Structure 1
Amino acid sequence: MNIQFAPTDLPLSRRLQTASVLQWVFSFLGLAPSCIVLFFVLMFTRFWLVSVLYACWWFIDWETPSKGGNRVHFLSNLRVWDYMRDYFPVKSAVPTCFKMATFVPVPKNAKLVKTVDLDPRQNYILGFHPHGILVAGAFTNFCTYATGFRKLFPGLDSFLLMLPLWFRAPFFRDYIMMAGLIPSDKESASYLLRRQGGGNAVVIAVGGAPEALDARPGAFTILLANKKGFIKLAMEHGAHLVPVFSFGENELFDQVENSRGTWIRLIQDKLQSFMGISLPLFHARGIFQYSYGIMPYRKPINTVVGRPIRVEKNEKPTVEELDALHQLYTEELSQLFEEHKGKYGVPEDQHLSFV
């Protein structure tokens, strides 16, 4: 395979963008296991007291993730996230895939698009689609302030749901809580949605880990047909539903062929059902070359926040009521995609595929 190396005369801003995304990829893939190892290694050194004191703190603070977390607004507003936003992408021609010599002009950077105002006196569930490989759009838009969520939707605080497993990792749990992440379980979401006075936007990547196995350039497969838990949650708390579609989310990584029915997919599905996390075999570009690695491609991410679906509080909805609201949500998401796809390079004959 021919390797296309990055130019040596890249401006400093480009290098800072790459460094910002590199630390985010490491945080997503490697920081949790590193923190676990560090916790146990310290136990056998002269710094053992650090682990002991943290264990005491962990016991006292055990319920915090399910009670809104511990967001630090200063950290969400750091300059490093501006560089991460501008990575998707910078204003230049960039490779469209790991092969050489294919370049296209692209917009300046990732952006969050508002279609209508959201009343800060209400609580909301934002259904984020598609999940992608590393949910880059959801993190950039709702865990950082780089794309202007707080300016576009004043009075709303966003909270992104993440697998509860990661909140069992020492040190790492505190880091992700400071970014506005909370466990993806009913207790954690309900705590925010039942707050009086509104102002809470709970962001759920509805397709979850399984949808990541279908994430690849040009794919528009949405796992939604049997996803009704978030619908029921909205009805129980009277939280309005807002469909969100992130154009470009699936363009950031290539994935090893794993069509349904192949042995690779069977193994991935088994591991996902057992471990709760999916293991997509993905690749994109490297740090100093554009041919191979786990850094995402410099592709634009345009996350469009749709119109809210008004939901009346109903603590014991019937199956028919759930199905009706689920169908309405599916239609609104499909309409949102159809209305905006032409702006972001999606072919006119391309439609969402719901499974």
Structure 2
Amino acid sequence: MYKTLAAYTFAALYIFLPSVPVTHALGLLAHLPRSAKLKHLFLYPLHGGREHVIFQMVSWAVWAGSVLIALPVATSRPWKAIPLAHVEALSGAAAFGTVFAELFMIKSLLVFDPKAPKLKTDDQQPDSQPPSPMWNRSRLPTKPHASAAIVAIGILWMVMGGGLLLATEYLEEQATRLTYYIFAFCCLVVGATTTHGLGGKLRHPAPPEDGMIARSGYRFWQPFRGGVAFIATQAAGWALFSLAAAFMIWTVIQLAQGMAYCVQCWALMTGATMFAAQLLLGVSVLTHEGAPCKKLKQLLGVSVLTYKGAPGKVLETVANPVRSAAPLLALWLPMLATFTPIHSFATVVVLTFFLLPANYAAAFWVGSLTVYYLLTGFGAPEHTGAREWGLVVGLYQRYMLASLQWWFGNVEVVKHGQTGFSPHQRYLLGYSPHGLFPIGAAYLQFLPTFRAIAGPMRTATVVASAIFYPPVIRDICSWCGLRVVARRTIIRALKDKGAVILVPGGQAELVLTWRMFRQNPRGKREYVVYTRHKGFIKLAIEQQAHLVPILVLGEICSLRNFIDIPALQQWTYKKIGFPVPYLVVGWGGCTPLPMAGRGLRFIIGEPIQPPLLEPGQQVDQSAIDKLHQAYYSQVSEMWAAHQPTFPGYEDVELVLYP
């Protein structure tokens, strides 16, 4: 049986390898304009409409890949000299690819619909430039005939998929069997979607006045439209499609576990289901009526447009998925983009080492990250903000506050004191406390309520350099204009923006976060603000920047360390500069999303003017100490004014450490 299978495989290979160029040549001859030049021969794949171009590109790409795969097989004599595993894998893949390319080439010819330029009219001047030649339409099939041909091609897809399934019983290599099942699944998906989408579009074209599929015409997604017969056949066809896919997945699982039995029985049943699904989808294309099915709505007893309550919402979501999903996306995406990138990237890294050999995974990450850092490192965006993207900033400004309010409940940005901000002054805004993940320092500048308080002040946030190493979070931070916390970066940001948000406590404050979750001997939880750092005070005096304390309530309680060992974390921070273990979790006790419904309050303090510093004058330590004392005195005042009114902070006391 192996010899017979090999013979059929090679026959398909040798037939369809040359058939793709031949089919392309026939289409070119059929559509070629009489006044064609040599350039039209080469530009033919780029004419004829979007579908024609896409199908041409797919066909030629798959055909070229099949040629490369077939070379070691087609050039070997005799066939028996080729190792069995190579015959199964190479010849099977090449044969499938050539048939795949041929069917796509035929589809490209059927959908050819050039946007021909207008012919020269009688009122044109004789010396006017003649129009480009018009592609020949006379040999094109009619739309209904082209639709019927597409349905027939869909049947061929299913036949090929069924043949691949039947062939798996005679394959020796387990990996090749799984490959054939993947090919069969591709046949199922391509055949069904082509029949439903392309066949229906050709059968029921858009009105000529708008050149697009009208609301009352045929669309790929059109629930409860097209008539009872169309909806019934569609439902049955897609149900059989899902059943065939389930059969394939189940068989693949059994093969992978070495427990498959009667493979031919499952192949016959799956192939028959695929064929039946294709027939029903083909019939549904013929029965489409092009209007909403009012009769079906009456049978269901509901109206998508007028029914109130949960069933109506479900039907409305099905009928308008994009419009219905948009509000949810506007709420979810800011939260996911803000809190999950680091965990997501770490998960991907772990999975690659779990699924691939360690040397392969290491080589993959070394190679890909090298290219990634080279492409994203131009202009030192972590220092200059060169990759700040107005589109991303605008999206955060538009949706972040609503997303936070949806998740946390009440989100406030309040001003402590009456002094405003001047566009002619510089400001250093100190964000406290650091907590486990002070992400509020990054998104605070995007909140409209903060912008209303800040007025003309433009801000840039500086964050830990470790944030700029992992991909995805590095990109999001760069697009949002965040920069790395470094002296030269802060000085440049003050010149560029005029104001900088930083977290004075740093990781020294991070390792004290655990005290917020445990009661001290007085029965109080401690809101610790680390006060030993004075570098930002000195920098504010040198740059003549006003200091502005920012106190946030609620954020520190929204995230926890999954493995909380304070003594070990403080020891590792002192030894290596980073607390270990460190795994931030929140909602559900295992997700990176913060705990919901706890509220947030950002308190913006009064600007504190630094002592005047003459050019060339050194900063006096006494001036640093005095400004340092004034800064944290205001932090205490802000706490005393707002802690009693913030929910859940009744048993919390402020600790200025040390």
TM-score, with structure 1 as normaliser: 0.73
CA distance in 2, matches of 1:175, 1:35: 19
**Where does residue 640 of structure 2 map in the other structure?**
338
Unaligned ranges ≥5, structure 2 = 1-312, 314-323, 353-360, 518-524
1:300 aligned to 2:599?
A: yes
State whether residues 118 and 153 of structure 1, in contact with CA within 8 Å, keep that contact through their aligned partners in structure 2: yes
Mark the CA change 1:229 to 1:254 in structure 2 (over 3 Å): closer, same or farther: same
3-state SS, counterpart of residue 321 of structure 1: helix
3-state SS, counterpart of residue 388 of structure 2: coil
Unaligned ranges ≥5, structure 1 = 1-8, 91-106, 259-263
**Where does residue 533 of structure 2 map in the other structure?**
227
TM-aligned CA deviation for residue 330 of structure 1? 1.0
TM-aligned CA deviation for residue 313 of structure 1? 4.4
Mark the CA change 1:301 to 1:342 in structure 2 (over 3 Å): closer, same or farther: same
Mark the CA change 1:168 to 1:18 in structure 2 (over 3 Å): closer, same or farther: closer
Which has the larger Rg?
A: 2
State whether residues 162 and 184 of structure 1, in contact with CA within 8 Å, keep that contact through their aligned partners in structure 2: yes
**Where does residue 60 of structure 2 map in the other structure?**
none
1:61 aligned to 2:411?
A: no
Mark the CA change 1:165 to 1:297 in structure 2 (over 3 Å): closer, same or farther: closer
TM-aligned CA deviation for residue 86 of structure 1? 2.0
**Where does residue 261 of structure 1 map in the other structure?**
none
**Where does residue 486 of structure 2 map in the other structure?**
185
State whether residues 559 and 584 of structure 2, in contact with CA within 8 Å, keep that contact through their aligned partners in structure 1: yes
State whether residues 563 and 582 of structure 2, in contact with CA within 8 Å, keep that contact through their aligned partners in structure 1: no
**Where does residue 312 of structure 1 map in the other structure?**
611
**Where does residue 430 of structure 2 map in the other structure?**
127
State whether residues 112 and 303 of structure 1, in contact with CA within 8 Å, keep that contact through their aligned partners in structure 2: yes
Runs of 4+ off more than 6 Å? 35-40
CA distance in 2, matches of 1:135, 1:160: 11
State whether residues 81 and 146 of structure 1, in contact with CA within 8 Å, keep that contact through their aligned partners in structure 2: yes
Cα distance per residue 1:141-175 (max 9 Å; x no partner): 12xx2343333322222211111233345665343
Cα distance per residue 1:9-45 (max 9 Å; x no partner): 9x9767864554233222244448969999963776x
Cα distance per residue 1:310-333 (max 9 Å; x no partner): 113435212222111111111111
CA distance in 2, matches of 1:68, 1:122: 21
**Where does residue 207 of structure 1 map in the other structure?**
505
State whether residues 125 and 241 of structure 1, in contact with CA within 8 Å, keep that contact through their aligned partners in structure 2: yes
TM-aligned CA deviation for residue 220 of structure 1? 0.7
Mark the CA change 1:177 to 1:60 in structure 2 (over 3 Å): closer, same or farther: closer
- Larger RCO, structures 1/2 (Cα 8 Å, 6+ apart): 1
**Where does residue 458 of structure 2 map in the other structure?**
157
Which one-letter code corresponds to 2:335 in the other structure?
V
Which one-letter code corresponds to 1:24 in the other structure?
T
Which one-letter code corresponds to 1:327 in the other structure?
Q
CA distance in 2, matches of 1:257, 1:337: 29
Which one-letter code corresponds to 2:601 in the other structure?
N
3-state SS, counterpart of residue 627 of structure 2: helix
Larger CA deviation: 336-345 vs 296-305: 336-345
CA distance in 1, matches of 2:566, 2:394: 39
3-state SS, counterpart of residue 74 of structure 1: helix
Larger CA deviation: 32-41 vs 296-305: 32-41
State whether residues 35 and 171 of structure 1, in contact with CA within 8 Å, keep that contact through their aligned partners in structure 2: no
**Where does residue 77 of structure 1 map in the other structure?**
394
CA distance in 1, matches of 2:511, 2:362: 32
**Where does residue 329 of structure 1 map in the other structure?**
631
Cα distance per residue 1:276-297 (max 9 Å; x no partner): 44354554323xxxx6544211
3-state SS, counterpart of residue 304 of structure 1: strand
TM-aligned CA deviation for residue 203 of structure 1? 0.8
**Where does residue 364 of structure 2 map in the other structure?**
41
CA distance in 2, matches of 1:69, 1:281: 31
1:86 aligned to 2:405?
A: yes
TM-aligned CA deviation for residue 251 of structure 1? 1.7
**Where does residue 542 of structure 2 map in the other structure?**
236
**Where does residue 245 of structure 1 map in the other structure?**
551
CA distance in 2, matches of 1:253, 1:128: 17
State whether residues 334 and 400 of structure 2, in contact with CA within 8 Å, keep that contact through their aligned partners in structure 1: yes
TM-aligned CA deviation for residue 346 of structure 1? 6.3
Mark the CA change 1:294 to 1:240 in structure 2 (over 3 Å): closer, same or farther: same
CA distance in 1, matches of 2:595, 2:635: 26
Which one-letter code corresponds to 1:228 in the other structure?
K
Cα distance per residue 1:219-259 (max 9 Å; x no partner): 311111x110110110110000001100112221244685x
CA distance in 2, matches of 1:43, 1:247: 41
TM-aligned CA deviation for residue 336 of structure 1? 1.3
CA distance in 2, matches of 1:18, 1:229: 38
State whether residues 436 and 561 of structure 2, in contact with CA within 8 Å, keep that contact through their aligned partners in structure 1: no
Which one-letter code corresponds to 1:141 in the other structure?
L
State whether residues 159 and 181 of structure 1, in contact with CA within 8 Å, keep that contact through their aligned partners in structure 2: yes
Identical counterparts, % of pairs: 22
Larger CA deviation: 231-240 vs 273-282: 273-282
Q: Which residue, 340, 356, 360 being the options, matches 1:26?
A: 340
3-state SS, counterpart of residue 249 of structure 1: coil
How many residues align structurally? 308
**Where does residue 5 of structure 1 map in the other structure?**
none
CA distance in 1, matches of 2:545, 2:533: 17
State whether residues 460 and 497 of structure 2, in contact with CA within 8 Å, keep that contact through their aligned partners in structure 1: no
Which one-letter code corresponds to 2:618 in the other structure?
K
Mark the CA change 1:277 to 1:25 in structure 2 (over 3 Å): closer, same or farther: farther
Cα distance per residue 1:181-216 (max 9 Å; x no partner): 1111111001123x2xx8522111111123223324
CA distance in 1, matches of 2:363, 2:480: 25
Mark the CA change 1:72 to 1:58 in structure 2 (over 3 Å): closer, same or farther: closer
State whether residues 243 and 307 of structure 1, in contact with CA within 8 Å, keep that contact through their aligned partners in structure 2: yes
TM-aligned CA deviation for residue 81 of structure 1? 2.2
Mark the CA change 1:160 to 1:234 in structure 2 (over 3 Å): closer, same or farther: same
TM-aligned CA deviation for residue 56 of structure 1? 4.4
TM-score, with structure 2 as normaliser: 0.42
CA distance in 1, matches of 2:374, 2:328: 42
Which one-letter code corresponds to 2:440 in the other structure?
G
**Where does residue 176 of structure 1 map in the other structure?**
477
Cα distance per residue 1:27-82 (max 9 Å; x no partner): 244448969999963776xxx7x964x554455423x3223453223312315524
**Where does residue 93 of structure 1 map in the other structure?**
none
Mark the CA change 1:275 to 1:152 in structure 2 (over 3 Å): closer, same or farther: same
Instruction: Map 1:250-261 to 2 at 5 A.
Output: 250-255=556-561
